[in-house]
Chains A and B, each alone.
Chain A
Amino acid sequence: MARPVQSDLRTRLQEWIPKIVLAPSVASMLIFVYGFIVFTGYLSFTNSRILPSFDLVGWHNYWRLFQLPTWTIAVQNLAIFASLYIAICIAIGLTLAIFLDQKIRGEGMLRPIFLYPMALSFIVTGTAWKWLLDPGIGIEHTLHLWGWESFHFGWIKSSSMAIYTVVIAAVWQSSGFVMAMFLAGLRGIDNEILKAAQMDGASNWNLYRRIIIPQLRPAFLSAFVILAHLAVKSYDLVIALTGGGPGRATELPATFMYSYTFTRNEMGVGAASAVIMLMTIAAIMIPYLYAELKEPK
């Protein structure tokens, strides 16, 4: 009589324990992620300045946000940065992956070398590239010492070109990671199909263009989503590399949000910019998640 009850209790426990164990982290995520998203959204409609305030002012902060030239510059910079960063990373990553996939010697050593920059924090990347790109101490200076006096590479000091140095540093950091994703995708392709195509007389070029790259679609999608959100939230790289300068030439929405919220005592405008950034990321992520979650059915 006692046994079935006991086993009932056990099965019930087994059912409950995972939920109990997970509860704290779910609760803290609900509060600290989603709760604060809602709080930030609320703040963006208030007149908060130095500390949060709860007097509603409607859409005023959004109106002010879009009047600010700095915000316009930040958004334009993000457009330049994100599109170049994503495109170049994918191009370099794919090329490297295809080359590494040619059953070459020393692959085991090359792979970690390309992947290694991802192990650094963006602060380290930014600082190292700041020194490399600085005309007074970096590449330009070294080449001058070697005798190439006419060499000029002062992008980081020029208002119109500085944003591209951010792209260079970011691409250096992330393209190895993209390579690893594509390499995994390449390894997952069924060899039978390739052999069949080769037997039908497909050239190497056509093999890649018509069979392999189309099959990498999921890898492209993941690479795009990961790079896109890295681009939108990139803050540390810019701070370490250019500090938003020269002038405000490399300001991005993330640096804008931080400076308005915490150093300019304009928490309302800062919150509004954070909401806009969230919407941008959501516009990228939601279609992706939707597509991903729909597929298995």
Chain B
Amino acid sequence: MRSYIGRTLKMASVLALVAGSAQAEDVEVLHWWTSGGEAAALNVLKDDLQKEGIGWKDMPVAGGGGQSAMTVLRARVTSGDPPTAVQMLGFDISDWAQQGALADLDKVAADGNWDAVVPAALQKFSKYDGHWVAVPVNVHSTNWVWSNKKMLADLGIEEPKTWDEFIAAMQKVKDSGKIALAAGGQPWQEATMFDGVVLSVGGPEFYKKAFVDLDPEALGGPQMVESFKRMEQLHSFVDPNFSGRDWNLATAMVINGEAAFQMMGDWAKGEFLRAGKEAEVDFGCFRTPGTAGDVTFNSDQFAMFKVGGDAQAAQDAMAKAVMSPSFQIAFNTVKGSVPSRTDVSDEEFDACGKKAMAQLKSASENGTLLGSMAHGHADPASVKNAIYDVVTANFNGEYDAETAAKELVKAVSLAQ
């Protein structure tokens, strides 16, 4: 398989040399950043490249999570005409690198000293076999809780520090007749909550054992049963109409004061900001109670495909531009995420962004920066989706906690 791809790529690069000389210095970028804010953030990069005389061929494929984009990519690569750079998440990068389809960025990386400034946990995905193949654009983290500050103040609720406090706080909201937890019943959203819940039960050690090492004893053990029980607790605080709701509508419920909390990654912050709310004034951000000091991350990266020739120079320039601190700041202040290099000033970020940057740095130093299971940074797609199946079956009442833990072991072993 590898050699087959290799051959097609070689053929493609020859073709690209012949056909591509007319449009030499262009980068073709496949991505799914199509919403207003995201597109604006990407324009920064476009302008940076234009200054260096590099044209930008935009290839947006809408659809959050990039599933449709990946289908397009598959077609392009099998026909031997890959785009220059593709927005990609976690294990997808390693999967493509394994097929021998990605370029080698070691020279640019050495010039920019990426090894020192990018957290090691991110490098695991940006590098394959010791070589840089992708450029991290941002770092999102998933173990966040977003709250409506005014509502909490009215009800006299303090920011919860432990799981029990969190449950007590939600009970108080529920008793007041409001919705305690804004949730969207889609498998990936439920899994996003599960990231934080597992971490709160077992800490980083257990999280690693269960989701990274896929140890059957951890997956089926008492701590996992407890995690599923906590998911059932959470389920009792959502409104009856949660199923199928998009995440941004759930965020809107917190913004409008219909609901008190939402457990969601920090892309939710973008929604608050767009609604004209201010961090730590109108809305609060804190780590899932019981997970202080730990960060489960996912990182958007540009995977660079083998293009060769003149296109190679443009590709290198793009890689360099993506890692430049000015772009990292400009992009991430809009996107709600934090820069993928830890040596950037946090001056331009809001209160939640500053918090996130400091926590990312310390988690990276303490080794508690963990890949998010829900967003494909702990396991390949097949295992991730197998876990989704069980989490969503439990959250929607199909499995009780004990059954769910048993089914989890089975599902994961089948998917490997």
Residues in A lying within 8 Å of B, measured CB to CB: 49-55, 64, 67-70, 130, 134-136, 154, 156-157, 159, 242-243, 245-249, 259, 262-266
24 A/B residue pairs, CB under 8 Å, sorted by A? A50-B74, A51-B1, A55-B1, A67-B414, A68-B414, A134-B241, A135-B241, A154-B240, A156-B243, A157-B244, A159-B396, A245-B187, A245-B392, A246-B185, A246-B244, A247-B393, A248-B389, A249-B398, A262-B70, A263-B70, A263-B385, A264-B381, A264-B382, A264-B385
Q: A242 with B392: in contact, given A263-B70, A263-B381, A263-B385 (CB under 8 Å)?
A: no
Flag if A265 contacts B95 (CB, 8 Å).
yes
- Interface footprint category on B: 35 or more
Known: A49-B382, A246-B244, A265-B382. 8 other contacts (CB 8 A): A51-B78, A51-B99, A55-B1, A69-B411, A154-B241, A249-B398, A262-B70, A266-B382
Flag if B95 contacts A243 (CB, 8 Å).
no
Give complex CA distance A64, B186 in Å.
25
Residues of A within 8 A of B222 (CB): none
Flag if B67 contacts A263 (CB, 8 Å).
yes
Flag if A70 contacts B389 (CB, 8 Å).
yes
Q: A54 with B380: in contact, given A69-B407, A245-B243, A245-B244 (CB under 8 Å)?
A: no
Flag if A157 contacts B240 (CB, 8 Å).
yes
Question: How many Å from the CB of B392 to the closest CB on chain A?
Answer: 4
Residues of A within 8 A of B187 (CB): 245, 247-248
Give complex CA distance A60, B242 in Å.
38
Interface residues of B in 255-280 (CB under 8 A from A): none
Give complex CA distance A53, B392 in Å.
31
Give complex CA distance A266, B398 in Å.
25
Question: How many Å from the CB of B266 to the closest CB on chain A?
Answer: 24
Closest chain B residue to A265, Cβ basis: B381
Give complex CA distance A157, B411 in Å.
25
Residues of A within 8 A of B397 (CB): 159
Q: Tell me whether B366 is interfacial, beta carbon within 8 Å.
A: no
Give complex CA distance A134, B396 in Å.
17
Residues in B lying within 8 Å of A, measured CB to CB: 1, 5, 67, 70-71, 74, 77-78, 95-96, 99, 185-187, 240-244, 380-382, 385, 389, 392-393, 395-398, 407, 410-411, 414-415
Residues of B within 8 A of A70 (CB): 389
Residues of A within 8 A of B407 (CB): 69
Partner of B243, one of A54, A68, A157, A264: A157
Closest chain B residue to A251, Cβ basis: B389
Flag if B243 contacts A246 (CB, 8 Å).
yes
Residues of A within 8 A of B96 (CB): 50
| In the complex, number of A-B residue pairs with CB atoms less than 8 Å apart | 88
Closest 4 CB pairs of A and B: A247-B396, A246-B243, A247-B392, A136-B241
Give complex CA distance A154, B242 in Å.
11
Flag if B396 contacts A246 (CB, 8 Å).
yes
Q: Give the secondary structure class of B's interface.
A: helix
Residues of A within 8 A of B95 (CB): 49-50, 265
Flag if B382 contacts A243 (CB, 8 Å).
no
Give complex CA distance A134, B185 in Å.
13
Closest chain B residue to A53, Cβ basis: B1
Question: How many Å from the CB of B401 to the closest CB on chain A?
Answer: 15
Question: How many Å from the CB of B171 to the closest CB on chain A?
Answer: 23
Question: How many Å from the CB of A219 to the closest CB on chain B?
Answer: 38
Closest chain A residue to B2, Cβ basis: A53
Residues of B within 8 A of A245 (CB): 185-187, 243-244, 392, 396
Give complex CA distance A249, B395 in Å.
12
Give complex CA distance A169, B166 in Å.
41
Flag if A247 contacts B411 (CB, 8 Å).
no
Q: A54 with B1: in contact, given A69-B389, A69-B411, A70-B389 (CB under 8 Å)?
A: yes
Question: How many Å from the CB of B399 to the closest CB on chain A?
Answer: 9
Partner of B5, one of A51, A55, A136, A247: A51
Partner of A243, one of B67, B244, B380, B395: B244
Residues of B within 8 A of A265 (CB): 95, 380-382
Give complex CA distance A50, B97 in Å.
12
Give complex CA distance A54, B243 in Å.
40
Residues of A within 8 A of B414 (CB): 64, 67-68
Residues of B within 8 A of A259 (CB): 385
Residues of B within 8 A of A263 (CB): 67, 70, 381, 385
Residues of A within 8 A of B5 (CB): 51
Question: How many Å from the CB of A242 to the closest CB on chain B?
Answer: 6
Residues of A within 8 A of B393 (CB): 69, 247-248
Q: A135 with B240: in contact, given A49-B382, A159-B398, A266-B382 (CB under 8 Å)?
A: yes
Residues of A within 8 A of B241 (CB): 134-136, 154, 157
Closest chain B residue to A134, Cβ basis: B241
Partner of B395, one of A55, A135, A247: A247
Question: How many Å from the CB of A246 to the closest CB on chain B?
Answer: 4
Residues of A within 8 A of B74 (CB): 50-51, 262
Question: How many Å from the CB of B4 to the closest CB on chain A?
Answer: 8
Give complex CA distance A70, B399 in Å.
13
Give complex CA distance A242, B96 in Å.
32
Residues of A within 8 A of B99 (CB): 50-51
Residues of A within 8 A of B78 (CB): 51-52
Question: How many Å from the CB of B163 to the closest CB on chain A?
Answer: 24
Give complex CA distance A55, B67 in Å.
26
Residues of B within 8 A of A247 (CB): 185, 187, 392-393, 395-396, 398
Flag if A248 contacts B411 (CB, 8 Å).
no
Give complex CA distance A264, B1 in Å.
19
Give complex CA distance A265, B396 in Å.
25
Residues of B within 8 A of A243 (CB): 186, 244
Give complex CA distance A208, B74 in Å.
56
